[in-house]
Amino acid sequence: MPAIKLPYRLEPGEAPGSRFLAIARSLNDRIVEDIEGAEGDELESAYGARKKLKRMRAVFRLMRHVDPDAYDAENQRCRDAGRALGPFRDRDVEGRALDELVAHFAPALDEGLFDHLRERLAARRASEALADSGIRAALNFARAHAHLTRATLSALNWQKIDAKPIVKSVVGDYKKARKLQAKVAAHRIHEDAHQMRKYIKYHWLHVRLLRPVWPGDYRHYQAQLRSIVDDLGALQDIEVLAGALAPINLSQSETRLLHALIEARSKALLDSAIQGTAIALDAKPKQLGFALEDALSGFIAAVNEQEQGAIAS
């Protein structure tokens, strides 16, 4: 029986804890399904499983003050599985990053200028894929972790919770993203930018989970956060491309041009992310916390009232 795919959000009339637990169970079941149904397309399976692991980590992170023991165990488990799958994602990143880099500067570049480089990167990826059986081992590792997680999830009960611990998690990651933005704006260190992306992505996923109660214009805010995540993701991909170029012999002129394009694009992406984060995260953490707690408390009260009415009838 296929795993159930649940929308990644609260639903009216459903207790938040119960909903988040159902989402985590659904994601975990779909990870197992992705891996067991790979049938030769291991890279695509690894990509799909890794994406779901990140979403599941965000659920556990949202609930970390509700159930710290479950968070500690499952966050580590999801992280280990994701790290095992991570290196295989880079095989696709190199070619995609080159395509996006060339497309961005296309009006100023000769058509087909880097076709030979693209072919060499593709040939190297194909050779590595044929020689490397590690991806299947990584998928089996992630599947074993998912089966352990399934046992944990089956024993959890998050039904009766209030708004405070959930809001505490949201505001905590929001604060970390704001602090990292200030640090990145001041020093422009890419490693800090990668950390900033992690916390903005957690925040973006939390906004998606809480969208029915999110204060203000959810759609606009979600789009702002997604744009920042995409810019910082593109920055990471360009760094992977730059690392992949090192062992490839290129002419001096090609090397200079590529590095100039990479430097210019990296600067533009980082500038955009810094500015976008400053705009998106301009609300004071306390203001955000008060507004979100008020909305979520009202949502929970309505669910409880509905449940009491159902029992009375």
- 247 confidence band (pLDDT: 50, 70, 90): confident
Predicted local confidence at residue 72, as pLDDT: 96
Q: Is pLDDT of 70 > 80?
A: yes
Give the model confidence (pLDDT) of 203-246 as tens digits.
999 999 999 999 989 999 999 999 999 999 999 999 999 988 87
Is the pLDDT higher at 121 or at 281?
281
Looking at residue 179, its pLDDT comes to 98
280, burial (CB in 10 Å: exposed 0-12, middle 13-18, buried 19+) = buried
Whether the predicted pLDDT of 74 surpasses 60:
yes
**Mean pLDDT rounded to a whole number for the chain:** 92
Q: Is the pLDDT of residue 14 over 80?
A: yes
pLDDT tens-digit readout, 141-184: 999 999 999 999 999 999 889 999 999 999 999 999 999 999 99
pLDDT band at residue 194 under the 50/70/90 scheme? very high
pLDDT band at 60 (very low <50, low <70, confident <90, very high): very high
Domain ranges of the chain: 16-160, 162-313
Residue 75 pLDDT greater than 80, yes or no = yes
